[in-house]
Amino acid sequence: MRTPVVMGNWKLNGTKSTVTELVKAFSTVANDAKNVDVAVCAPAVFIGMVESLATGSNLKWGSEDCDVHTQGAFTGENSPVMLKEFGCTYAIVGHSERRGYHNETNEVVAAKFKSALDNGLVPVLCIGESEAEYDAGKTLDVCKAEIKAVIDLCGIESFNNAIIAYEPIWAIGTGKTATPEIAQNVHKGIREFLKTFSAEVADGVRILYGGSCNAKTAPELFSQPDIDGGLIGGASLKVADFTAIIEAAKANA
């Protein structure tokens, strides 16, 4: 039995006041959701605040990215060691916005995954295809290549301490959610691919769905056998919506 995860990805959003409001609300909701791992991944500048507000609750937090290096002359980056010092549990790596806007290749993402893992963070590996790749029937090929780069660098066992988030790029921030059937088929394909390396790892790894997942669509998505929760963008900035998504995960825990 895999514990569901509901994780917010705030992206480049938030003010001191909204972060305070959201973390206070989600800490209370997380305390009532003992069978679900609830987390928010925040812009680095807010992580210290999240730590102060959420410590002592069941709400966990993480970063939206993580550098390959632990320290040195890398202006603007955030080291996994620093993120760990501020209480992060998770580090998202390979979000499609990082891959797209910052030219992060599968190899760079794999190196970030390793850096997070080696320094005690749980990497959340984002994978997923573009609309053109979806139309061309290449969804699983893209996902497999993104996962294989990590297996090549870190080994299959690394997924014992990691999470995968399947996020079709055409569904991110567009209001278009993959249907539960489409999402389930991809999640199943990802798990089958992992099984070719290790059945045990494949059975244990949590695979989240992300892409316009909201209060309405979460219940059916989360009831699919291979969907273990969600990585939530826009809806994680709204107390009522994120709370309803957590409720949907509780119903499937």
- Specify whether 95 is catalytic: yes
Give the residue nearest to ligand PEP (CB).
Answer: 233
Smallest distance, ligand PEP to C-beta of residue 155, A: 26
Smallest distance, ligand PEP to C-beta of residue 227, A: 13
| Catalytic site residue from 64, 95, 97, 187 | 95
CB-CB contact of 181 with 217 (8 Å) = no
- Specify whether 102 is catalytic: no
Q: How far apart are CA 22 and CA 166, in angstroms?
A: 25
| Amino acid, res. 211 | G
| Amino acid, res. 13 | N
Q: What CA–CA distances, in Å, run from 191 to 83, 163, 188?
A: 29, 12, 5
Cα angle: 77, vertex 82, 110; to 5 degrees: 60
* CA 163 distance to own-chain centroid: 7
Which CB, 60 or 201, lies closer to ligand PEP? 60
Smallest distance, ligand PEP to C-beta of residue 210, A: 3
Which CB, 30 or 221, lies closer to ligand PEP? 221
| Catalytic site residue from 64, 104, 129, 167 | 167
Which residues of the shown chain bind ligand PEP in the complex (CB under 6 A)? 9, 167, 172-173, 210-213, 231-235
Which CB, 229 or 234, lies closer to ligand PEP? 234
Q: How far apart are CA 246 and CA 44, in angstroms?
A: 24
Residues annotated as catalytic (active site), given as ranges: 95, 167
